[in-house]
Structure 1
């Protein structure tokens, strides 16, 4: 999918399972804003080697999250709480990017967008001090320093939801850095500043090697599956359920997956 026009991929049920925005007039402005936001990340801030013990690749990844991990209630990540002023400044810079992405999200995935809004409302109803960091997505990260992803899937993301990726930097996107999705047997040229939406928990994906002297970073936003589950369980973690409730919950897994997939219609 390599002509720069907006591109969508649908499955046999006519559900949109991938959408790449057009390489249009907004892309250069988004790229500039992401490069500007990148400057506000302090050089000595800690970063992870892309999580999953580096299995995604070797580059710097700075994560800021509203998540639900091993504790009973959702919480803001340490990466955010230790760097709140910096992250808030980054989010201020990226407000126009958020507005553009939300316009695309509500247009292409209106039912899914409504589900994300509902999840945020339920979280904030029970915990008003918590906030989604790139509304309606709860978490985001900035990946830096010549990124090349290895083949992987993002198993912690909401399985039937979307994450989106926006590459930024200076590279020849027609020759390098293409997004490749294994299950679709397709590759996508994604210019700096262009958002692409896909269910990263379902599809194994990676990007092609950088062959020139250009630089590539990426901005990624998502909501975790564990947050969706917490809301689905009415503000409880799975280990807070009775044995009977756990049994009933597990029996309905297929129905919930189908309901989630139907949000893509």
Structure 2
């Protein structure tokens, strides 16, 4: 685990699942599925060139914001929806999704329960929306189809400010020479081998990857939940605009003050090493 100054677990180097033949039975089929998806997908410039880097990507799951009056699914079109359906029904990604979610539940149990409570309410209110994977807590995922997925420095500001994101590296590359995960705020550079999963609060920590060689391939599979979905629940299943329209000027000012308190309360959901050790005894 990676801990902050108060010994709270704020990120986890989850590694590779300790299961027999993981690379052969899970990693390699996931890579093959990514390559097929890239060949079949309809990739516009916005899917190839974006603020995180220059590679193909497909995203699915629930989202909110960007002019929407209420939460809905990412719009992908007929071709890409079919490609995504093949990916989320692939047993390799089902296994990877479960592994990431399991790590989350172990290393951040209070935060994980927060997701259960809020997203449980969210999906009860929005039964037409579904998680990409029934065995994973997150409400959205992105398949970064490469062929050389190495992220520019960024924060995923649309995610829950203190929420965790699972990142799984895939491909054929020398992880000792490239593909490292740089956590700039933590002043850490982590080797990130194929098949490995790392969990970070991606909205809070500025992060990027080092480059890989031209002849190598690197893909990634990420899982996360938009902060707007939590706010939708907290606002009584209303948009920010509709919610603030019901408030007085004094109440609006109070809401702004509460913003910082909510961030602190969110960080308090991180478990300390002492709590983790006590739970393992």
TM-score normalised by length of structure 2: 0.84
Query: Residues 48 and 195 (structure 1 numbering): CA distance in 2 closer, same or farther, change over 3 Å?
Result: farther
Cα distance in 1 for residues equivalent to 2:56 and 2:83: 17
After superposition, the C-alpha distances for 1:49-69 in whole angstroms (9 at most, x for unaligned) are: 469x72222111211131011
- SS of 2:186's partner is coil
Query: Which residue of 1 is the match for residue 274 of structure 2?
Result: none
Cα distance in 2 for residues equivalent to 1:212 and 1:204: 25
- Note if 1:121 corresponds to 2:120: yes
- SS of 1:78's partner is coil
In our comparison, the structure showing a higher alpha carbon Rg is 2
Cα distance in 2 for residues equivalent to 1:78 and 1:204: 27
More helix by share: 2
The offset of 1:251, in angstroms, is 2.1
- SS of 2:264's partner is helix
Query: Which residue of 2 is the match for residue 251 of structure 1?
Result: 257
The offset of 1:98, in angstroms, is 2.0
Cα distance in 2 for residues equivalent to 1:162 and 1:181: 14
Residue-pair matches, total: 257
The offset of 1:175, in angstroms, is 1.2
Query: Which residue of 2 is the match for residue 137 of structure 1?
Result: 138
Which of 24, 28, 50 is matched with 1:32 structurally?
28
Query: Residues 249 and 132 (structure 1 numbering): CA distance in 2 closer, same or farther, change over 3 Å?
Result: farther
Structure 1: stretches of 5+ with no match in the other structure: 1-7
RMSD: 2.2
- SS of 1:183's partner is helix
Cα distance in 2 for residues equivalent to 1:11 and 1:35: 34
Residues 227-238 of structure 1 aligned to structure 2 (within 5 Å): 227-238=229-240
Structure 2: stretches of 5+ with no match in the other structure: 272-281
Residues 58-97 of structure 1 aligned to structure 2 (within 5 Å): 58-69=54-65, 70-79=67-76, 83-93=80-90, 94-97=93-96
